[in-house]
Structure 1
Amino acid sequence: MTSTQFRRTSVNPPQPWPAPADWAEINDRVVHYLTKAPAIAFARTKEDDVLSGKPFAVEVAMITDGTWIWPAAVDYYARNHDIAPEPDFLQHLRDQDFTLPEVTPEQRAAATAALRS
């Protein structure tokens, strides 16, 4: 198997970058994309919501679309606190027209290996 480079993103509330001007219009499409992508790593715990203080609210998992890897917290904070993903990642979603590509087993395995490197 050839080595695959993955782009990585995270979320650090409160939002460290401005929300895009069209965030209200695209939020649902972004959340749909983020929630439909496959998880490649899980933890048996949840983290506290750092904005609301709600305990054990945020899934601990890593997700991929075959190009990017992101924590499940990106979806959680977009869905629950209107925090947009980082601009480069959001542009990637726009470039995909917010349509999740098929993620092959090989891509999932490569993303999992990338997490370990």
Structure 2
Amino acid sequence: MKQVSVFRAGSEPPLIAEERLTDEEACRIGAYLEAGAVVMHTNTLGTDVLDGDAKVVPLTIRTDGEFVWTGPVTYYVKKYGVAPDADFLAHVRACDYRVRVTTELEIAAAAAVFAPAR
């Protein structure tokens, strides 16, 4: 299971990727992200690092069966048009922006990405 990000790899503190999507594609990618199967849900909100550290970023985790992403990915794509990882973008475009139905096994595999090691 591949994890999706909108942050620059290896940046500390985390920095938002510089590439931006067109408004139309941000809307389509955002809809795809929201349509993913819920892996883990929380009402807790994270910090928007681009807006004075406001606590408005959903933290729910979703998957499409091949990729897994956290709420900040959806938030930054929809609010600011931040482009997620290139391989994920290619995947979504190849799927014509439509999420397929995921299996319980795929959802469990996505959850394992974030589960603490035992």
Sort the Cα spacing of 1:19 and 1:44 in 2 relative to 1 into closer, same or farther, 3 A.
closer
**1:15–1:84 contact (8 Å) kept in structure 2:** no
Q: Note the residue ranges of structure 1 that are not aligned, 5 or more in a row.
A: 1-5
Q: Which residue of 2 aligns with 1:3?
A: none
Which letter maps to 2:58? Answer: E
1:44 deviates by: 4.2
Instruction: Give the SS at the match of 1:48.
Output: strand
How far does the alpha carbon of each residue in 1:61-107 deviate from its partner, in whole angstroms, 9 at most, with x for none?
A: 22110000111111101111111212111111111110101112221
Instruction: Tell me the C-alpha RMSD between the 2 structures.
Output: 2.0
Task: Name the CA distance, whole Å, in 2 between partners of 1:16 and 1:59.
Answer: 19
Task: Name the CA distance, whole Å, in 1 between partners of 2:15 and 2:80.
Answer: 9
1:19 deviates by: 2.8
Which letter maps to 1:16? Answer: A
How far does the alpha carbon of each residue in 1:3-54 deviate from its partner, in whole angstroms, 9 at most, with x for none?
A: xxx011222275424235xx23322211110111122123442111110125
Q: Which residue of 2 aligns with 1:50?
A: 49
Q: Which residue of 1 aligns with 2:10?
A: none
Instruction: Give the SS at the match of 1:66.
Output: coil
Task: Give the share of equivalent positions with the same residue, in percent.
Answer: 30
Task: Name the CA distance, whole Å, in 2 between partners of 1:92 and 1:53.
Answer: 32
Aligned residue pairs, count? 110
Q: Note the residue ranges of structure 2 that are not aligned, 5 or more in a row.
A: 8-13
Which letter maps to 1:105? Answer: E
- TM-score where L is the length of structure 2: 0.80
Instruction: Give the SS at the match of 1:63.
Output: strand
In terms of mean alpha carbon deviation, does 48-57 or 73-82 score higher?
Answer: 48-57
Task: Name the CA distance, whole Å, in 2 between partners of 1:15 and 1:49.
Answer: 11
Task: Name the CA distance, whole Å, in 1 between partners of 2:23 and 2:15.
Answer: 17
